[in-house]
């Protein structure tokens, strides 16, 4: 019998007793343990990133909603008030998704993958319903604007908020999508689409204000708003039809959203 000494990533040394024929198998097992450990560390890092992203979203949406609605009332701007109401829908989505990741990050599931998958599925469905609500709101608002021939009104404060959202929200949405892919979270992906919509509508608002000042195209913002409705409906449907992820709590067993779509 030979003594073989092997070490793990935690620098705990154990004496293994076996034959030379057993060595390749034990090396393979050690490699699997180390790989699993790396995947878990990556998942923990992604969870912390997701929490920071949602905190950023919540803080900004509170500011955006309050300022946009107040500025819209002062300037009698229907579009600014609508932009603020849209922000409250996105705020609700961010709060729901934040709670989902906060629970998992604090390990209140006691490591049960099925329980993690269950709350991910429920959160994804809530986010999906919020996407449908947002798409309905955008659709009604656009139709109302066309029927009433409503043009965008100018508000310096409102334009400043819209400009910040137009630049920052697409970047935030892209980051959320990357993290959602890493941790296979449909709820975070749906929330990312809410964030993207905020940036898109901000650009529409700025476009409407600019064209209203330069041309007589009062209808441009309403028509452009309609373009995002099909995307919101599709993403909402994807979130609603998602099944609970049985491997969400075990990162080594996860199947990515991209792999599932390719499989379909």
pLDDT tens-digit map of 139-150? 998 898 889 887
**DSSP label at 249?**
T
Mark residue 122 as left, alpha or beta (left: phi above 0; alpha: psi -120 to 50; beta: remaining): alpha
pLDDT of residue 241: 80
Q: What is the value of pTM for the model shown?
A: 0.68
pLDDT of residue 252: 47
- Report the SS3 class of residue 6: strand
Note whether 87 and 64 are within 8 A (CB): yes
Half-sphere exposure of 71 (CA within 13 A, CB side): 22
Residue found by looking up tokens 């334009």 in the block: 159
Tokens of 35: 């790989």
Q: CATH assignment of 44-263? A: 1.20.1510.10
pLDDT of residue 251: 47
List of the chain residues with pLDDT < 50: 1-13, 15-16, 23, 33-35, 37, 39, 110, 246-247, 249-257, 260-261
Could you tell me the residue ranges of all domains in the chain? 44-263
Note whether 242 and 124 are within 8 A (CB): yes
Query: Hey, CA dihedral for 138, 93, 167, 68, is it positive or negative?
Result: positive
Kind and range of the H or E element at 3? Answer: strand 2-7
């Amino acid at each position: 019998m030979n003594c073989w000494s092997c070490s793990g990533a935690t620098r705990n040394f154990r004496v293994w007793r076996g034959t030379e024929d057993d060595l390749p198998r034990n090396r393979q097992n050690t490699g699997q343990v180390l790989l699993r450990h790396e995947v878990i560390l990556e998942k923990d890092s992604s969870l912390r990133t997701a929490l920071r992203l949602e905190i950023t979203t919540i803080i900004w949406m509170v500011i955006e909603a309050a300022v946009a609605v107040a500025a819209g009332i002062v300037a009698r701007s229907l579009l600014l008030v609508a932009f603020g109401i849209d922000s409250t829908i996105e705020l609700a989505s961010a709060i729901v998704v934040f709670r989902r990741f906060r629970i998992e990050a604090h390990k209140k599931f006691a490591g049960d993958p099925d329980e993690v998958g269950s709350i991910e599925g429920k959160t994804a469905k809530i986010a999906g319903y919020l996407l449908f609500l947002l798409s309905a709101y955008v659709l009604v608002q656009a139709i109302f604007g066309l029927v009433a021939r409503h043009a965008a009104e100018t508000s310096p404060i409102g334009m400043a908020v819209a400009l910040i959202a137009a630049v920052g929200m697409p970047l935030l949405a892209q980051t959320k999508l990357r993290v959602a892919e890493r941790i296979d979270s449909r709820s975070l992906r749906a929330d990312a689409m809410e964030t993207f919509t905020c940036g898109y509508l901000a650009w529409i608002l700025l476009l409407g204000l600019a064209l209203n000042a330069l041309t007589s195209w009062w209808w441009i913002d309403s028509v452009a708003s309609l373009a995002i409705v099909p995307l919101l409906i599709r993403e909402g449907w994807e979130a609603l039809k998602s099944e609970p992820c049985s491997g969400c709590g075990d990162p080594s067993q996860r199947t990515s959203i991209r792999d599932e779509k390719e499989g379909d």
